[in-house]
Structure 1
Amino acid sequence: MARWLELPSAPPEGDVLPPDLAVAAGRKTTLQFTVTYLEMTERPNHVAVHPPPRTKVALMRAHTPTLDFYRFLYNGIGEDWNWWYRRSMPDADLAALLEDERIEVFVLYVEGVPAGYFELDRREEPVIDLAYFGLLPQFVGRKLGPYMLYSALEQAWSYEPDRLTVNTNTMDHPRALPLYQKYGFQPYRQEQQTIPDPKLNGIIPG
């Protein structure tokens, strides 16, 4: 599960659990993690990946998704993996982002129920970024990830970019990095990052 980790600033400090109380309670006030940046510069030659058998799925682009729907997906998928950045965005800023036609949100439905999504950021073409990718917890482990990633790659390469990028980090699902590499992404850079724990300042429910 990838997250867009070009962090313009740390999460805002909150009043849910001040650092001194967190330390007294034996909790770390920051999170340290390693970000791996990956890329592919040629369209991979993959055999088509299909949904799991006897599973009714649909993959549809959500044109200008509502804030509530987008936050439902983002928050539900990202809570276990500390996706904090867009939780902290003001509604007006997030709405403006989602109204940009170069931000493409594709939602996976399973038996008519939203199961996950991927997001392509085309604002810096000919480079396209797979900015977000993930499944809601109840759909993890049902072999939907490979199908959704294959679909994301097909969609991205239909624009004939020069380069497709993604990043993941050590807070994400442990199978995220191997899956990206299996489908053709190659690591080109790693970096260490530290952020205030978003579960201590109330961005993510603790």
Structure 2
Amino acid sequence: MQPPLADGYHAVPPGKLATVVTYLEMLAPPPRTAFAAPDGVRLARVTDPDPDAYRALFRQIGTDWMWTSRLVPDEAELVTLITAADTEIYIPVRGDEALGLLELDVGSENETELRYFGIVPEVVGGGLGRWLMQEGLAAAWRRPGVGRVFVHTCHFDSPQALPFYIRAGFRPYARAVEIFDDPRLAGRLPETASAQVPLIRDQRLPPPTA
């Protein structure tokens, strides 16, 4: 475990980003709500995902929120990750159009991680997210013996994400600071991605604080 950060300001190394991560959990299934699927939408379990289609959907959902982890592996590594026995992928679809992504890590006998959850920008605010979370939690708690479902988010994510998870029944229990390479400088995301996070090409150290 990394030593705790001292109070005060800490310079972020050039080319890096720092974000505050919030960890959340629920220890019992929430009451089943009755959010109906939006018209024409069904939830498809994807057992043999196409890596190009997966990555395109991942970008469509996450480019504005600095989603990068599935953009780093090469194609072979990505296929291994998304077809693993402990990975369950669900996609809400309307016709042939993918509208979101729900990915679970079911590798533990008594825990399920909500690994990725998001919807495409065009359908935000139409009720799809509430319905998808309802179905996702049902899948996360489906296995006998599961006593905990957990997820994490960060302040680069949509400002709606954290309150949405709390309304869904998750309880925040820990925070951490994550430092990682700015994916825009590495070419993994366009330079215009995540406009709420300024792109700094030539970073200088900040002035000393009093």
- 1:39 counterpart residue number: 25
Query: Could you tell me which of 54, 69, 73 is aligned with 1:85?
Result: 69
Deviation, 1:83, is 0.8
Structure 2 partner of 1:5: none
Q: Which stretch of structure 1 is more off in the superposition, 143-152 or 109-118?
A: 109-118
| 2:60 aligned counterpart, secondary structure | helix
Determine whether 1:199 maps to 2:199.
no
Correspondence for 2:94: 110
Residues 30, 195 of structure 1: 8 Å contact kept? yes
* Structure 1 CA distance for aligned equivalents of residues 95 and 40 of structure 2: 5
Q: How far 1:175 moved relative to its partner?
A: 0.8
Report the AA paired with residue 114 of structure 2. Answer: L
Task: Tell me which of 41, 44, 47 is aligned to 1:63.
Answer: 47
Percent identity of paired positions between Structure 1 and Structure 2: 36
Unaligned runs of 5+ in 1: 1-27
State the partner residue of 1:133: 117
Q: Give the deviation of 1:199 after TM superposition.
A: 0.7
* Structure 1 residue 111: Cα displacement: 4.5
> Once the two structures are superposed, what CA deviation does each residue of 1:108-155 show, in whole Å capped at 9, x if it has no partner?
013541100100101122111000000112122222111101110011
What TM-score do the two structures reach when normalised by structure 2? Answer: 0.80
Q: Distance in 2 between matches of 1:151 and 1:37?
A: 21
Separation (CA, whole Å) in 1 of partners of 2:132 and 2:114 = 12
Residue 15 of structure 1 corresponds to none
**2: CA distance between counterparts of 1:41 and 1:138?**
33
The CA deviation at 1:101 is: 2.4
Higher relative contact order (CA 8 A, sep 6+): 1
Rg: which structure is higher?
Answer: 2
How many equivalent pairs are there?
A: 177
Counterpart residue identity of residue 15, structure 2: T
- How big is the alpha-carbon RMSD for the aligned residues of Structure 1 and Structure 2? 1.4
- Which residue does the alignment assign to 1:119? 103
Preserved contact between residue 33 and residue 134 of structure 2 (Cα < 8 Å): no
Equivalent in the alignment of 2:165: 180
- Cα offsets for 1:70-120 (capped at 9, x unmatched): 111111111111111110111111111122122010000135411001001
- Counterpart of 2:59 in structure 1 is 75
User: What corresponds to 2:4 in structure 1?
Assistant: none
Does the 8 Å CA contact 2:49/2:82 hold for their aligned counterparts? yes
Which of 144, 148, 157 pairs up with 2:141? 157
Structure 1 length as normaliser, TM-score? Answer: 0.81
Task: Please tell me the residue identity of whatever aligns with 1:147.
Answer: W
User: How far apart, CA to CA, are the structure 1 residues paired with 2:59 and 2:101?
Assistant: 12
